[in-house]
Structure 1
Amino acid sequence: MLKPIRLSDLRQLPQHTQELEFKQFFQGFESLTPVEGSLQVSHRGHFLEASAQAQTIVTLTCHRCLQQFNHRLNVEFEEIILIRDPSPEPLPLELELKDEELLESLPPSGELDVEDWIYQHLHLEMPRQLPCRPDCEGIVVETPQEQVDPRWAALGALAARLQQAPLKDSP
């Protein structure tokens, strides 16, 4: 079980870096095998440098034929997380943002929830549309032209008779 890393503890480590190996299932992330990988988090003064690699096997549904299949998910990700005090003021509804405000941030006395961080990145890296195999043709619908629903057969026979019979003028 991955535990959060306190920023104050990270500053006390040699080279301000912590490396972890993990092999576990993540709650809310369905996989056939445990997610296995490694993580490195470094404190760089005003920001954290975090990177990880992970692999597992997940069950996906083909977007062409709707059959389920297993897919090996191999991911590598890295992120810069700013260390800064949160703004005490609530943000206005309309706000012009600077590039640095688009980055994740943590307070100096905070901690990085590495389990949640890896969980989020696993979801972001999941393929959204993937065929089960390169030559997947999709759903094959076979509807023979000769077969007619028997409920419509009587109506079809009546329509055929009406087309063959001459119309008589009414008095």
Structure 2
Amino acid sequence: MYTNTIIKTEIDEKVIKAFKLDALTRSKLFFKLTTRLAIPFGGVLDGAFSADRSLVCASVASLLSQHLDQETFEQTQLILFGSIVEDGEALATPEAINKWFEYNDVNPIDLFVWLVDENLVTLFKGSKQLQSLKPKFAEFYKKFEDFIPKTVISDDSIKE
């Protein structure tokens, strides 16, 4: 499940080390999460190309709640947090993970996001085949970028 490659970061002023997931575990986890997120992502795309965007957020939230189940999240969390290195070994069990968090004041959300980025997002970003598709979707990216609301705050709006 884990390789001998150690990755590290600093979160909340604590250096965290974890074993990188092996290729099969990364691929299975990536596939599982991708299949769970495909339908909600489709909802985002539909909203991006729709003239009526009034219910896009509600629709996507509904789709996410229907397709991202607790079991998938718990398995993903166990695999990723289980990769944390303590005394040269992977934590691997829920008991060891809970004990580690009890004695290490680290934000679990920040740690989870870092582990997802290191093990899964880099898998996607590192694929030359997927990256070669980027230019073909330039127009799509532009439409999707236009869909995302932007908040603009200027110094002019602050009055004392």
Bigger proportion of residues as strand: 1
- The structure that has the greater radius of gyration is 1
TM-score w.r.t. the length of structure 2 is 0.21
Bigger proportion of residues as helix: 2
